[in-house]
Amino acid sequence: MKSSTTLKDQLPARFRGTMLGAAIGSALGFPHSGSSRTFMRALGSEVIEGYVRHRNGYFPVGQHGAGVQLMTLAAQAMATVGSVQPQSIVDHWIPLWRENRIIERLPDVDVAMSRWLRRGPDARGCACGPGEVGSGSLISSVLIGLWDHDDPTSLVEDCERLIGVTHEDQEVRAVSSALASVISHNLTHKDVVLGDVIDGATAAAARIDMAVADRIQEIPMLLASSELVAFDQLASSPDEISNADHSGIENRALPIFLVALHSWLRNPAEPMQVIGSCLSAGGAVEMTAAVGGALAGSCIGEHRFPAVLKEGLLEGEEISAAADLLYQSQVQQRRRRKL
């Protein structure tokens, strides 16, 4: 991953790589959402070779999931106001529900946004309460890693503002902050430094939920284990009996993040291997592959993703434009701070 260009020169490509990587992973996984781990493993490498039509026949080939839809709009909101303002994010998201333009139903986010829709963007207490640990808005937290990559002291607070639109649960908030921390690391390092990645993610999570921080600490020792052994530990809760080996990952933020992070750390410079590993997990494959794709893209930029997948991605140009807009706004805000 050595490069003659500086990290500053690489930032625009890494912003685009993060968001396009999330969208590519999502679009590859979207047709298979809920499929068993057994089925996804049987597909093998075929699953990353190209987009396929959703099994319900309604969505076009190359369609990403609703989580990416939210991420793109949140990026536009942040770029427009030059900061992380929950009201602006709500303003950008509400029309999806008001006009019934949301791609798919996200049970956790639906609850929160229906409250925002009824009460208005100035309301309080609309987020899902403790115990709602869904992953509907998880991928949007990568935007905080992009925005605050050079301002780590603001990262957790900004992530709380964004994820607080939909979730109060401390596990979800801690996972989101940890994900943002890893994205931030990738934008400030030319090479992946395992200790720094784990320490940063652990520290970000520990400010909110020590249980999440402890789970993140399990990952380094599992990198030498087989993918099957690692999956069994990361996809399951230590306190619960899980059927993850057959059914795949539950639609919960924590196991999705842990499996995606482990998949990426095994092959940080190979985005399609990362996404393929995430897809083979089964279950909540759309969000898992989106997180894996974002991690890979933030590390190596947009160029290592196959052209056929970038060109076949629905709304790919809009997503890329949102990433550029976010980058430009972030640069402008940093310049103003120095005046």
In a domain? residue 4: no
Predicted confidence (pLDDT) per residue in 236-292, tens digit: 776 554 566 678 999 999 999 999 999 999 999 999 999 999 999 999 999 999 999
pLDDT recorded at residue 246: 72
Which domain CATH number covers 276? Answer: 1.10.4080.10
- Name the residue among 67, 48, 45, 109 with its Cα closest to residue 312: 48
Phi-psi region of 62 (alpha: psi -120 to 50; beta: other; left: phi over 0): left
Q: Which domain holds residue 97?
A: 9-334
In a domain? residue 3: no
In a domain? residue 181: yes
* pLDDT tops 60 at residue 3: no
Q: How confident is the model at residue 1 (pLDDT cuts 50, 70, 90)?
A: very low
Q: How many domains does the chain have?
A: 1
| Mean of all residue pLDDT scores within the chain | 94
Predicted confidence (pLDDT) per residue in 182-196, tens digit: 999 999 999 999 999
Of the spans 81-95, 110-124, 220-234, which averages the highest pLDDT? Answer: 81-95
* C-alpha separations of 185 from 127, 155, 161 in Å: 29, 12, 20
In a domain? residue 60: yes
CA distance 248 to 279: 10
- Name the residue among 244, 240, 218, 213 with its Cα closest to residue 231: 244
Predicted confidence (pLDDT) per residue in 106-161, tens digit: 999 999 999 999 987 777 889 999 999 999 999 999 999 999 999 999 999 999 99
Predicted confidence (pLDDT) per residue in 196-223, tens digit: 999 999 999 999 999 999 999 999 999 9
In a domain? residue 2: no
pLDDT recorded at residue 216: 98
- Name the residue among 330, 320, 268 with its Cα closest to residue 23: 320
* Tokens describing residue 140: 């949007």
